[in-house]
Amino acid sequence: MAIKIILTLGYLCVIFYLAFKGWRETKQASDYMLAGRQMHPFVMAMSYGATFISTSAIIGFGGAAGMFGFPLLWLTFLNIMVGIFIAMVFLGKRTRRMGVSLGALTFPELMGRRYQSRFVQGFAGVVIFLFIPVYAAAVLIGIARMMEVNLGISYAWALFSFTAILAVYVITGGLKGVMYTEAFQGSLMFGMMMILLFYTYGHLGGLIDAHKELTGLAGQVPAKLKAMGMLGWTQGAEFGSPLWLIIYTTIVYGVGIGVLAQPQLAVRFMTVNSDRDLNRAVLYGGIFLLSMTGVAFVVGALSNVMFFRETGEIAIQAAGGNMDKIIPVFITDFLPDWFGILFLLAMFAAAMSTLASQYHAGGTSLGRDFYERAMKVNVSNPVALNRGCVGIIIVVTLFWSWILPPSIIARATAFFFGLCAASFLPAYFMGLYWKGTTLTGAITSMVGGFFISLFYLLFVHTAESGPIGLCQALFGVKSLAFLADKGTWLWNMQFVDPNIVALPLSIILCLLVSLTSKKMDQTHIQACWSNI
């Protein structure tokens, strides 16, 4: 216990020192919201990766891999190709350049100034403010569950104590404090995941033996998962089955593509000083993402072998039916005590890094984008305003963390990623690459994509429509898909991610309306492209 206390206090001392450094260097709004646009590429890449990969990826999606197996590694591929390479090379450079040209300090402000619209900025700010706490709650639940299992403290105490620690440096340090701590936290996460990978394979007799044994467990797949199409943890799911649709449309596609429109990630592109810094960040980020999600998904799947050897149960059974507990229980039951506390600190780092960015993005969206810009309120101290709004986001996140049901982490993450993609991605991407994208096209796409995605979540996609209950209240069924015959394509739509429908429609709306609506002032367009 003494070692746990010493290591934890040492970790917190480093965090608070870096937060103090960020606070000391935060003098004006651009420092608080964009870290002064002078971040080192290593710091930016580690901050981007640590924001991207959190307890929702390691605990939530690692637990999902414990249930569904190696098919989740396709998400790792998309994380690197889409979330790092395409994001930084094709979106990052133009985002940084246009952000400088337009003097934008936040993602919604970049969108608003590109289209010369307070509505665009305010709408984006409200969507982020309303829904990023749900995603943040998924991250907070992940670390609270880890603390509950590893430290033996109550879930409620874990939520409140962790939130209090995090609030101190996020509110005071701004984006500089956030990014400094994230670079340190990302480095710690990298080290722990490497140890976890080598320990797991070593304990199972090496890569080949471990994978053979996992393949041999196909007969232990629970009846419910078999009925949905699961063949095994290495074999995957039957093509076109309900489980195949869940894995590949919601987890792989929904999260893998949705990363391109994440406001807390896009703003990172505007914190570096040059395209060269972004190029250098690609290498750092790619290695980091591979070590995070790749390890979490492999270990999550292989945990079935460890649990079955020791208990005769597969991972989800050993975790009491809650997949959010698979990784915490695995760490506690099978790894040495010294690693347990180090891994807990790494999960502190993962949760803190992502939550800090989510709180910061949500707070600035409420303060600067909605209250100050969209509502046209004259603010004498914008830094104080945004600090107060960050505090509001923290309280709302704590509320969601208290009421959300078990096994929610992966689902809540996919929910936010999908909603952002449908609402923002077409107008964001076309706004960077096509001078013909119009204000009317952007608004139609953003509002249309948002409401199409929300309708699907409320009335079709059973994972959300069932627990929310609005469809049940209005139509007497958990999903409108239940009105179709079982096994038909309409019935199977309940398993298809909303973004399979919402994102293509949002793209079509942006394209068609831009082609037929009033063009934007060419002088303004040239100003947007002045650095491009």
Residues 9-41 have pLDDT tens digits of: 787 787 777 767 766 665 555 555 555 556 677
- Domain assignment present for residue 55? The answer is yes
Q: How many domains does the chain have?
A: 1
pLDDT score of 400:
86
- Per the rule left: phi > 0, alpha: psi between -120 and 50, beta: everything else, 486 is beta
- Domain assignment present for residue 136? The answer is yes
pLDDT score of 177:
63
- Domain assignment present for residue 13? The answer is no
* pTM, two decimal places: 0.84
As a whole number of angstroms, the distance between CA 45 and CA 284 comes to 6
Token duo for residue 522:
């060419």
> Residue type at 224?
K
pLDDT score of 47:
74
As a whole number of angstroms, the distance between CA 69 and CA 74 comes to 11
Q: What is the DSSP string of 44-70?
A: HHHHHHHHHSSHIIIIIIHHHHHHH-G
- Domain assignment present for residue 458? The answer is no
Q: What tens digit of pLDDT does each residue of 168-217 get?
A: 766 665 566 667 777 777 788 888 889 899 999 999 999 999 999 999 99
As a whole number of angstroms, the distance between CA 157 and CA 518 comes to 56
Contact by Cβ (8 Å): 262, 166 = no
Contact by Cβ (8 Å): 221, 212 = no
- Domain assignment present for residue 516? The answer is no
3-state secondary structure of 230: strand
As a whole number of angstroms, the distance between CA 174 and CA 151 comes to 30
pLDDT score of 76:
92
As a whole number of angstroms, the distance between CA 464 and CA 498 comes to 10
Domain residue limits at 278:
43-423
CATH code of the domain containing 320: 1.20.1730.10
- Domain assignment present for residue 487? The answer is no
As a whole number of angstroms, the distance between CA 17 and CA 287 comes to 27
- Domain assignment present for residue 270? The answer is yes
| Degrees, nearest 5: CA angle 522-527-530 | 120
Q: Output Rg (C-alpha) for the chain, integer angstroms.
A: 22
3-state secondary structure of 319: coil
User: Which stretches of the chain score pLDDT less than 50?
Assistant: none
pLDDT score of 406:
64
- Domain assignment present for residue 447? The answer is no
